[in-house]
Chains A and B, each alone.
Chain A
């Protein structure tokens, strides 16, 4: 499938926003959905609906097969060794909470350290903060540098004999920095420390190969990957899923239930308690097919071309300040404009149909470090074009005119 007319695959772009064509630059928040994914949800509910994994009737068997088929597709897409290393969750947030909670139950005690980075989204900090409160563990943060990167060296500096887990983002949702995961993993493993990767921004934009990255845990947000909301994926090496205790209890995750005691089900059921987001899982298979049809190499090439263009024109725009200048940069571009607050920028841009995000992007630690309470952020998806950045630039000039800044 060619990227030239890819907007056509996304029905949202048929609609006008305040009588303007939609310029959607908020994909780091959530991506738009292709028609094939929307159709799949509709078709499943209209023609094929049943719960999965329980009943033996025709619809239940068919739905279970489709549900498990997505697990196989995900395994292939991320090159996991074993299909049972794929756990469906309600989102990447739940995936990280699952790891923090179960890992702590089994392995953490007072005084142990978790090493995060100053780039982390709140969802890779708050779950660990609970452990700080309840269990007395310590949280350390690897420093971000002036370019908005976290280097291998800054992580190495903060590792101590008490470090029990390293949690890092793959791609910063504010500066766009891509972290050297493979090197981080190799360093951590040489010291016997497991690594959790927050892949929310990495998975939609980078080639993700679990066996190559060799991380222990990788959290994915499906709605940022042209898939439905309410669905995330936890990749975890099989040994961890076997060793760690279950996260939530309920139907579907048990082996045998007696008054005297309970045994738990095999993988992956052990971690999928209750009725799962069945329609979303089944529809997510279409997202993966869609991504495969375009090819991740083409996606990376296309998004780099658009990002380079965006950086070029915004650098030329006086009074626009770009946040961070990482050498390895993904599909995120944050900026401020002298004398105009990001929320005013976002409101004015919206009038022209230009959708960006303004605020701290769930990264208050990073914004404190940057010394700004908020930034404006334009983030890319496969449907963005150079014209989108032209329109962003025009709308920024309109802001400057309204606020009478140069």
Chain B
């Protein structure tokens, strides 16, 4: 257990001053996520262009530092990515948070990787993993346009 790894500067910064905390104008996809155990809520808005590239992404919601930082960092990293690239990054992130030591992605530069890896501290706190993954599962739902609210208790 290491609180310093969990609450790194970058997490505290994004938790306190979340980036992209707003609603995208003219969004064309969105999805909601909810953690019924702690009440964390997230609503993700996407604007994809005709080439399926994410032109803008934003979110609204409330929650703990981990969940807000995760949504903030995620929205920063997937902007300007193709839908397919974004899906690969989500898969990569979720695998890293659950079991793998590192990210496999080649679509991020070193700074971006460091930023994303700052969330890996939750691995030592199994009860908090869902805080970190809620926004990511909700993004999948938004991309796939399933219109289904993500409930953190019914995902792996």
Binding site for B on A (CB under 8 A): 18, 339-344, 347-348, 351, 358-360, 364, 367, 373-374, 402-404
| Inter-chain contacts of B66 with A (CB < 8 A) | 343-344
B38 to chain A, nearest CB (A): 5
Chain B residue at minimum C-beta to C-beta distance from A348? B3
21 contacts between A and B (CB under 8 A): A339-B16, A340-B65, A341-B63, A341-B64, A342-B38, A343-B64, A343-B131, A344-B64, A344-B66, A347-B3, A348-B3, A359-B37, A359-B38, A359-B39, A360-B38, A373-B39, A373-B40, A373-B63, A374-B39, A403-B16, A404-B12
CB–CB A343/B1 < 8 A: no
Q: How far is it, in angstroms, between the C-alpha of A172 and the C-alpha of B78 when the chains are bound?
A: 45
List 9 additional contacts besides A348-B3, A403-B65; criterion CB under 8 Å. Answer: A18-B1, A340-B65, A343-B66, A347-B3, A351-B3, A359-B38, A360-B39, A373-B63, A403-B7
- Please tell me which one of the listed residues B3, B7, B38, B65 contacts residue A374 in the complex, with CB atoms under 8 A apart: B38
CB–CB B64/A402 < 8 A: no
| Inter-chain contacts of A360 with B (CB < 8 A) | 38-39
CB–CB A373/B62 < 8 A: yes
B15 to chain A, nearest CB (A): 8
Binding site for A on B (CB under 8 A): 1, 3, 6-7, 12, 16, 37-41, 62-66, 125, 127-128, 131
- Please tell me which one of the listed residues A340, A358, A402, A403 contacts residue B38 in the complex, with CB atoms under 8 A apart: A358
Q: How far is it, in angstroms, between the C-alpha of A203 and the C-alpha of B132 when the chains are bound?
A: 38
| Inter-chain contacts of A341 with B (CB < 8 A) | 63-65
| Inter-chain contacts of B64 with A (CB < 8 A) | 341-344
Q: How far is it, in angstroms, between the C-alpha of A322 and the C-alpha of B66 when the chains are bound?
A: 24
Chain A residue at minimum C-beta to C-beta distance from B41? A373
Chain B residue at minimum C-beta to C-beta distance from A343? B64
| Inter-chain contacts of A374 with B (CB < 8 A) | 38-39
A109 to chain B, nearest CB (A): 33
CB–CB A347/B125 < 8 A: yes
Closest 7 CB pairs of A and B: A373-B39, A341-B64, A343-B64, A374-B39, A344-B65, A344-B64, A359-B38
- Please tell me which one of the listed residues A342, A351, A402 contacts residue B12 in the complex, with CB atoms under 8 A apart: A402
A393 to chain B, nearest CB (A): 18
Which of B6, B16, B64 counts the most chain A CB atoms within 10 A? B64
B6 to chain A, nearest CB (A): 7
Chain B residue at minimum C-beta to C-beta distance from A375? B39
B34 to chain A, nearest CB (A): 10
A4 to chain B, nearest CB (A): 33
CB–CB B39/A347 < 8 A: no
| Inter-chain contacts of A343 with B (CB < 8 A) | 38, 40, 63-64, 66, 128, 131
CB–CB A402/B3 < 8 A: yes
| Inter-chain contacts of B1 with A (CB < 8 A) | 18, 351
B121 to chain A, nearest CB (A): 11
